[in-house]
């Protein structure tokens, strides 16, 4: 899943693809690099991000989705607003990636059910503006699993077919570095929910902190993290580990090196990396 941020303020590439033509060109580059899915978003969900109105979000994403809909990859719309999702689906998207897991807009479940499209439900503690203010869990894996299980059951109760639901533990969304690492370490427990797991560690701050701490000998939570552009190695490491633990969709900025790494990891594990969006798991 290639990340396509049509925003001025995303943490990694904010402003780079706000222009529709630049976004479409980058989307085509991601497809050429091997992306099966393009995740198009018009509202940043970085820590501290301010909300964007539906009209502005639609203006950002609609022309991009429409231009890329026939470009050779499934289009995902990264939004929690039903109005935005509806316009994107009309323009050719077929997956709704909702970071609120249907808590942000009561109209979203019915839209997804009526359109018969796929959806991804993610765990987030609070909202982007507040999620990183001292997040606390007794057992982060157990609590994330319980949340995802409850949201899965809710989606099913709204008439959404189980085979159309993906789940995302929300790495970096209301979690410390320790929480993120624990989720990755015990990812098999979330695989037990029976739905494809989406993992989004790409260029996240905790990777920059781990690398900086290793280089300086400092404490992970106290060092200045490496900048986003220097977090590729950590992104590759976490995605390969996630593959080994059962994840099957990988949301990344750097598609080509991640595809190569996943292909090698899958071969090492005794399978091969499938490029089909319908078959998102390594097959023997």
Catalytic residues, by residue number, are 204, 251
**How many CB atoms within 10 Å of residue 204?**
23
The CATH number that applies at residue 209 is: 3.20.20.20
Confidence category of residue 283, pLDDT binned at 50, 70, 90: very low
Structure pTM? 0.91
Within a domain: residue 279? no
**Averaging pLDDT over each range in 16-25, 126-135, 170-179, which range is the top one?**
170-179
| pLDDT, position 274 | 60
Region 21-41: mean pLDDT is 95
Report strand pairing: 198-199 vs 249-250: parallel
Within a domain: residue 131? yes
Confidence category of residue 262, pLDDT binned at 50, 70, 90: very high
Within a domain: residue 157? yes
Is the pLDDT assigned to residue 54 strictly greater than 80?
Answer: yes
Burial track 31-54 (b if 16+ CB lie within 10 A, e otherwise): bebbbbbbbbbbbbbbbebeebeb
Region 53-75: mean pLDDT is 95
Within a domain: residue 147? yes
| pLDDT, position 7 | 86
Query: Is 20:67 a contact under the CB 8 Å cutoff?
Result: yes
Is the pLDDT assigned to residue 90 strictly greater than 80?
Answer: yes
| pLDDT, position 116 | 98
Within a domain: residue 259? yes
Within a domain: residue 120? yes
Q: Which domain holds residue 256?
A: 2-268
| pLDDT, position 59 | 95
Q: Which of 137, 139, 169 is closest to 152 using CA atoms? A: 169
Give the lowest-confidence range in 8-22, 40-54, 209-223, 235-249.
Answer: 8-22
Question: For the chain, how many structural domains are there in total?
Answer: 1
Confidence category of residue 46, pLDDT binned at 50, 70, 90: low
Q: Which of 213, 225, 248 is closest to 12 using CA atoms? A: 225
Within a domain: residue 211? yes
Within a domain: residue 276? no
Is the pLDDT assigned to residue 279 strictly greater than 50?
Answer: no
């Amino acid at each position: 899943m290639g990340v396509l941020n049509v925003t001025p303020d995303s943490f990694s590439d904010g402003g780079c693809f706000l222009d529709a033509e630049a976004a479409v060109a980058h989307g085509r580059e991601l497809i050429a690099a091997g992306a099966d899915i393009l995740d198009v978003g018009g509202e940043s969900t970085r820590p501290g991000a301010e909300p964007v109105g539906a009209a502005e979000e639609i203006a950002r994403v609609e022309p991009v989705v429409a231009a890329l809909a026939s470009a050779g990859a499934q289009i995902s719309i990264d939004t929690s607003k039903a109005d935005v999702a509806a316009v994107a689906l009309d323009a050719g998207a077929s997956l709704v990636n909702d970071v609120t897991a249907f808590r942000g807009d009561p109209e979203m479940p019915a839209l997804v059910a009526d359109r018969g499209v796929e959806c991804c439900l993610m765990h987030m503690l609070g909202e982007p503006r507040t999620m990183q203010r001292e997040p606390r869990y007794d057992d982060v894996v157990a609590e994330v699993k319980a949340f995802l299980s409850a949201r899965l059951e809710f989606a099913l109760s709204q008439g959404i077919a189980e085979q159309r639901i993906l789940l995302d533990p929300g790495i970096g969304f209301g979690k410390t570095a320790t929480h993120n690492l624990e989720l990755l370490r015990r990812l098999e427990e979330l695989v037990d929910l029976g739905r494809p797991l989406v993992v989004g560690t790409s260029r996240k701050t905790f990777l920059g902190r781990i690398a900086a701490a290793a280089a300086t000998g400092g404490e992970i939570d106290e060092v200045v993290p490496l900048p986003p552009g220097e977090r590729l190695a950590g992104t590759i490491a976490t995605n390969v580990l996630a593959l080994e633990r059962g994840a099957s969709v990988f949301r990344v900025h750097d598609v080509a090196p991640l595809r190569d790494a996943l292909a090698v990891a899958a071969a090492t594990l005794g399978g091969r990396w499938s490029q089909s969006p319908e078959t998102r798991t390594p097959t023997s």
